[in-house]
Amino acid sequence: MNTLENDKRTIRGWALFDAANSSYALVISVAIFPNYYIRMTDDTIDIIGVSITNSSLYAFSLSSAYLIIAALLPFLSGIADYSGRRMLFLKFFTWLGSIACLFLFLFDGPTGVSLALLCFILATIGFDGGKVFYNSYLPIITTEEHYDKVSAQGFAYGYFGSIFLLIFNLVMILQPQWFGINDDTLAVRISFVSVGLWWISLAQISFRRLPSDLPTTLNRSVIKKGYQEIRSVWKALRPQKNLKRFLVSFFCYSAGVQTILYLAATFAEKELSFGTSELIILIIILQVVAIAGAYLFASLSKHRGNKISLMTMLFIWLSICLLAFLVVEKNQFYLIAILVGLVMGGIQSMSRSTYSKLISDHTEERTSYFSFYEVLEKLAIVFGTLSFGLIDNISGGMRNSILVLGIYFLVGIFILSKVKWYHPPLKASANA
């Protein structure tokens, strides 16, 4: 019997890690860094004699980060599940991400763009790589009947922690003189440092409270285990037409969803001249609306089923693409942000719960099926951001890239409409 199971102190320590690393996801990758990067770089950047728009290069950096993550994910999952070295790797990726954030302080002009993008890529790898080992602690620190409650506690800590730090940085950027800062770019660069320090400092509490490693021999079979699981799921999917349709749809619309979430700030700055403080306020509004949206679509799913809920959200995402192509004023973009917030959390949670129901006949291989799902989602990010960057660079504008994302949603809607749904919402217990 694990003496740490359902221990409140241990669970709080685990949840605090979400507050630690979520600060990177919200403060840097969504709210501040994209806008600052566009401001501090030339419209076009020469890379090995090739001229690339700054927004395209940013999209390619995201593609590179998630391509590396997708390649590493099966390996990391195998290590987390079978080697007993969760804490070692959790610490490694946490230090990697937080130190990369600290080095972003050095980015103060066009000459530092290579270092900035390298740090951004490393911080993204640290964030997503660490999540693999963070999530793997859940079945160790609590029992199955408490999974949902403890997982929700982690999300809550992450949400409030990241919002708190984002508001602090908003105040510092709006009123730098209160902090003895005269240079507005310095306030932004200090915000990068604040994320790195917040991330690594809070993580120390988690490191102390979570169970210590009980390492087993790290042999070749352990290292290959994750890749073997991915291959076995790939083979098992061949006769499962319904599940394959859902996964193809999921890949298409995830390419659109994730690309919008990662590149919306870049679009706002480059196409509509949003300032950093305006963008932070926009993100805070988006986060608040996201809470209402999650409840709204959970209720829709309860009464009409997962498929109807997903289809409704995808039509809203399609509308977002069309509106973003047409938007010319900042006030219009606030409306788009409200729509994004409405469907931002719901589309991800509903996709995961739908997938859970569709694989309910494969309970013994759920870990393998979800590893496959995670890899597919990361590859969708690579596909979406890479195509966005290519079209932006070729056409010379981000609006055309937005239209292409709309095509991904159309394809996703069409394929999802072909998915046969065997879980009618007759009772509340039939829905997630």
Q: Are 397 and 274 within 8 A, CB to CB?
A: no
Q: What is the DSSP letter of 365?
A: G
Q: What is the pLDDT of residue 69?
A: 92
The residue that leads in pLDDT, 86 or 120, is 120
Q: Is residue 348 predicted with pLDDT exceeding 50?
A: yes
The residue that leads in pLDDT, 159 or 404, is 404
Q: What is the pLDDT of residue 353?
A: 74
Q: What is the pLDDT of residue 427?
A: 43
Average pLDDT over residues 343-359: 79
Confidence of residue 252 (pLDDT cuts 50, 70, 90): very high
Average pLDDT over residues 123-141: 87
Q: What is the pLDDT of residue 4?
A: 63
- CB contact burial 387-422 (16+ within 10 A = b; e otherwise): bbbbbbbeeebbbebbebbbebbbbbbebbeebebe
Quote the mean pLDDT of the chain. Answer: 85
- pLDDT tens sequence across 46-80: 887 788 999 999 999 999 999 999 998 888 877 77
- pLDDT tens sequence across 308-342: 889 999 999 999 999 999 998 888 898 898 999 88
Confidence of residue 254 (pLDDT cuts 50, 70, 90): very high
Q: What is the pLDDT of residue 101?
A: 97
For residue 174, CA distances in Å to 25, 134, 288 come to 21, 34, 21
Please check whether the two domains, 1-218 and 235-432, share a CATH topology: yes
Q: What is the pLDDT of residue 357?
A: 78
Q: What is the pLDDT of residue 366?
A: 63
Residue 254: closest CA among 341, 356, 376: 376
Confidence of residue 431 (pLDDT cuts 50, 70, 90): very low
Q: Is residue 135 predicted with pLDDT exceeding 50?
A: yes
Confidence of residue 272 (pLDDT cuts 50, 70, 90): confident
Six-digit token pair at 343?
A: 């469907």
Average pLDDT over residues 347-376: 75
Q: Is residue 365 predicted with pLDDT exceeding 70?
A: no
- pLDDT tens sequence across 189-217: 999 999 999 999 999 999 999 988 776 76
The residue that leads in pLDDT, 128 or 424, is 128
Confidence of residue 364 (pLDDT cuts 50, 70, 90): low
Q: Which CATH class for the 1-218 domain?
A: mainly alpha
Average pLDDT over residues 292-300: 79
Average pLDDT over residues 334-363: 80
Q: Are 325 and 404 within 8 A, CB to CB?
A: no
Lowest mean pLDDT among 190-199, 238-247, 351-360, 384-393: 351-360
Q: What is the DSSP letter of 30?
A: I
Average pLDDT over residues 16-40: 91
Q: Is residue 298 predicted with pLDDT exceeding 80?
A: no
Q: Is residue 159 predicted with pLDDT exceeding 70?
A: yes
What are the extents of the domains in the chain?
Answer: 1-218, 235-432
Question: What backbone torsions phi and psi does residue 47 show, to the nearest 5 degrees?
Answer: -125, 110
Residue 88: closest CA among 1, 236, 212: 212
Average pLDDT over residues 290-300: 78
Q: Are 354 and 250 within 8 A, CB to CB?
A: no
Average pLDDT over residues 6-25: 90
**Percent of the chain scoring above 70 in pLDDT:** 92
Q: Is the dihedral of CA 127, 132, 133, 137 positive or negative?
A: positive
Q: Are 18 and 161 within 8 A, CB to CB?
A: yes
- pLDDT tens sequence across 77-93: 777 767 777 898 899 99
Q: Which CATH class for the 235-432 domain?
A: mainly alpha
Q: What is the pLDDT of residue 183?
A: 81
Q: Is residue 7 predicted with pLDDT exceeding 90?
A: no
Question: What backbone torsions phi and psi does residue 420 show, to the nearest 5 degrees?
Answer: -85, 130
Q: What is the pLDDT of residue 202?
A: 95
Q: What is the pLDDT of residue 24?
A: 94
Query: What is the distance between the alpha carbons of residues 264 and 297, in angstroms, rounded to a whole number?
Result: 23
Q: Is residue 134 predicted with pLDDT exceeding 70?
A: yes
Q: What is the pLDDT of residue 153?
A: 82
**427: burial class by Cβ within 10 Å (0-12, 13-18, 19+)?**
exposed
SS3 per-residue string spanning the chain: CCCCCCCHHHHHHHHHHHHHHHHHHHHHHHHHHHHHHHHHCCCEEEECCEEEEHHHHHHHHHHHHHHHHHHHHHHHHHHHHHCCCHHHHHHHHHHHHHHHHHHHHHCCCHHHHHHHHHHHHHHHHHHHHHHHHHHHCHHHHCCHHHHHHHHHHHHHHHHHHHHHHHHHHHHHHHCHHHHCCCCHHHHHHHHHHHHHHHHHHHHHHHHHHCCCCCCCCCCHHHHHHHHHHHHHHHHHHCCCHHHHHHHHHHHHHHHHHHHHHHHHHHHHHHHHCCCHHHHHHHHHHHHHHHHHHHHHHHHHHHHHCHHHHHHHHHHHHHHHHHHHHHCCCHHHHHHHHHHHHHHHHHHHHHHHHHHHHHCHHHHHHHHHHHHHHHHHHHHHHHHHHHHHHHHHHHHCCHHHHHHHHHHHHHHHHHHHHCCCCCCCCCCHHHCC
